[in-house]
Amino acid sequence: MRRLALSATIILSFGLTGLAAAQQTSPGGGIRYRWVDGSGLPHYSDSLTVDALKYGYDVINSNGTVTQHVQKQLSPTERAAAQKQADEAAAQQRAVNQKKTHDLQLLNTYPDENALKDEQQQVLQNLDEQMNTTRANLHTQDSALTDLLNRAADEERQKKPVPKFLVDQIGTQRNVVANERDLLEREKANRADMLQQQAQELQHFRDLKAAEKADRGY
């Protein structure tokens, strides 16, 4: 009786944690599995159980060392949420990497501020040339529409019906002129956006150069 009482006292004194630690390895010195249930209590087993798969588990070798951690099984909703979180984190990291690459290219491409300004001015000149071409096309198409309208007016002054082919030509030409006007407006808006982007890029370049100078200390 004294031995049984003593054994019970020792077990109680160690508690659940001590008992679990004593069972970390199987009698044969093989691999064991440890997991924590929903109440926070640790469990050990020589084989995987449903609960181990449910909550996730650690693989413990014969030395009591954790050699692998396996995440718990996720529900479809949890998997979708985890995937979304992983995708967002990956997107953020890509954005950071792209910014670093862009900054490095900016510094390596332009030795100073004037070089960047020259490049920006060339871009604006190209846009201006495109707009001049569009303006010329618009003028040509507008003149063609005016000629068609004058022909229709001549028919009406002579009390004649405007021929259908002429009416169709006028409708088609109106669309051509409208498209050219829309294109010119888009090109103007694009140039305005480019000016804003260039101003931001120039300021960013100045900030990078200032940081680079600060890092060098001179």
In tens, the pLDDT along 206-217 reads 999 999 888 887
State the pLDDT at residue 114.
96
User: Both 43 and 86 in a single domain?
Assistant: no
Residue 8 resides in a domain: no
User: Both 125 and 198 in a single domain?
Assistant: yes
Give per-residue pLDDT as tens, 144-159.
999 999 999 999 999 9
User: Both 21 and 61 in a single domain?
Assistant: yes
Give per-residue pLDDT as tens, 112-145.
999 999 999 999 999 999 999 999 999 999 999 9
State the pLDDT at residue 28.
46
Confirm if 201 and 138 have CB atoms less than 8 A apart: no
User: Both 198 and 142 in a single domain?
Assistant: yes
Give per-residue pLDDT as tens, 159-201.
999 999 999 999 999 999 999 999 999 999 999 999 999 999 9
* Domain boundaries, position 58: 16-70
Residue 152 resides in a domain: yes
Provide the sign of the torsion angle of the four alpha carbons 19, 22, 24, 28, taken in this order: negative
Distance CA 169, CA 149 (A): 10
Report CA-CA distances (Å) from 26 to 53, 64, 133, 176: 19, 10, 84, 85
User: Both 190 and 114 in a single domain?
Assistant: yes
Residue 43 backbone zone (phi > 0: left; psi -120 to 50: alpha; other: beta): beta
User: Both 95 and 144 in a single domain?
Assistant: no
Residue 9 resides in a domain: no
**pTM of this structure:** 0.58
